[in-house]
Amino acid sequence: MMMLGSKIYKIIGLVVSIITVGTIGYMWLSNYSFVDALYMTVITVTTVGFGEVKPFTPEEKIFTIFLILTSITVFGYAVSAFSEFLVSGKLFDHFKHKRVEKQINKLVGHTIVCGYGRNGKQAISKLKNYGKQYVVIEKSKVLIEKLDLEGVLNVEGDSTTDEFLLKAGILKASNLITALPSDADNLFVVLSARQLNKGCKIISRASKETSYSKLKIAGADNVIMPDKLGGDHMASLVVTPDVIEFVDRLTIEGETTANLEEIDVDELPKIYLGKTILDLDLRRKTGCTVIGLRNPDKDYIINPEADSILIKGSHLIVLGRPEQIIKLRELF
């Protein structure tokens, strides 16, 4: 993209230079006014052939020949370069890149997903169901084309470099999920993202247990090990099958809803600050039940009392059927 932009600017610069040289040349050799000199330059470089403002001297004819030959070379280069961009698709990629850049610049508080593999796809599906804004960084051309067809905002490039994290809007992002297959690559992403945005919540995938502590030290808020979770889950289905299946039903989503929801107390109407869970009256209004409370110190209280106070910085974990969750989302 940068090469395409530089070539375009180079072509524009050459055209402007020819017009400038031609205008100054005719003003100096022929004592033309600026308008007459510009007019002569334009009809000369475009080979329109409307005729001279006044008969040329030998010096002026030589200058005109030089101007025509130079302009033919420059315009020939411009046409060939433009044709190359058009045939190869680089021109369309350039305009697509500019359009995506404008869209990303408008985002605030979005989530960046690094890698469109199996885990990346699952993360995007969850974010989409919750109506969250997100940008995907992926270096595979095939996957980028797939993302374009699905209408997913994306940046083509290597997410381990600062350049593409910045293009994805890391400075204004609230969350980053790095789901690359290599732990080393995920480590680079975490280090770069944490350096660029101290307040961003970073969630990293890890394949090896030895990578867990390294990713945490690098700045990851959460480290997920899919293989370990999968093994634990399968073993739990043997030990406590009914409990695990019930939990799965709580977390597996339908097309647009989920059975568990998180409520940020800070986002509730101000009249509820300092009130109790009972005052919120979610059971009557939506049918949902509060099953958890996270206080500002990030301590979790399971099945909190009805007289628990809603204070700033706390979160409620709510359980409900899909239709009840919809009511909850509409209410808050």
CATH code for residues 2-88: 1.10.287.70
Selection from 74, 10, 25, 21 nearest residue 47 by Cα: 74
Radius of gyration of the chain (CA): 31
Taking the whole predicted model, whether its pTM rises above 0.75 is answered as no
- Do residues 282 and 329 lie in contact, with contact meaning Cβ atoms separated by under 8 Å? no
The domain ranges of the chain are 2-88, 108-230, 257-331
Nearest to 196 by CA among 188, 204, 184, 185: 188
Residue by residue, DSSP assigns 201-260 as EEEEE-SSHHHHHHHHHHT-SEEE-HHHHHHHHHHHHHHSHHHHHHHHHHH---SS--SE
> DSSP secondary structure string, 256-296?
S--SEEEEEGGGS-GGGTT-BHHHH-HHHHHS-EEEEEE-T
Residues 202-230: tens digit of each pLDDT: 999 999 888 999 999 999 999 999 877 77
What one-letter code names the amino acid at 196? Answer: L
Summarised one tens digit per residue, pLDDT across range 136-192 is: 999 998 999 899 888 899 999 999 999 999 999 999 999 999 999 999 999 999 999
Q: What's the token pair of residue 28?
A: 């100096």
The yes-or-no answer to whether 108-230 and 257-331 have a common fold is no
Phi, psi of 24 (to 5 degrees): -65, -40
Helix (H, G, I), strand (E, B) or coil at 88: helix
* Distance from C-alpha of 185 to C-alpha of 114, rounded to nearest angstrom: 10
| Fold designation for 257-331 | Alpha-Beta Plaits (3.30.70)
Q: Which superfamily is assigned to 108-230 in CATH?
A: NAD(P)-binding Rossmann-like Domain (3.40.50.720)
Q: What is the pLDDT of residue 328?
A: 86
- Residue-wise pLDDT tens for the chain (332 aa)? 445 556 667 777 888 888 888 888 888 888 888 888 888 888 877 776 666 656 777 887 888 888 888 888 887 777 777 666 665 555 566 667 778 888 999 999 999 999 999 999 999 988 988 889 999 999 998 999 899 888 899 999 999 999 999 999 999 999 999 999 999 999 999 999 999 999 999 999 999 888 999 999 999 999 999 877 777 778 877 888 887 777 777 665 554 455 788 889 998 888 888 899 999 999 899 999 999 999 988 889 999 999 999 999 999 999 888 888 888 888 87
DSSP states along 121-171: HHHHHHHHHTT--EEEEE--HHHHHHHHHTT--EEES-TTSHHHHHHTTGG
Distance separating alpha carbons of residues 255 and 257, to the nearest angstrom: 6
User: Can you tell me the distance from the alpha carbon of 276 to that of 306, in angstroms, rounded to the nearest whole number?
Assistant: 7
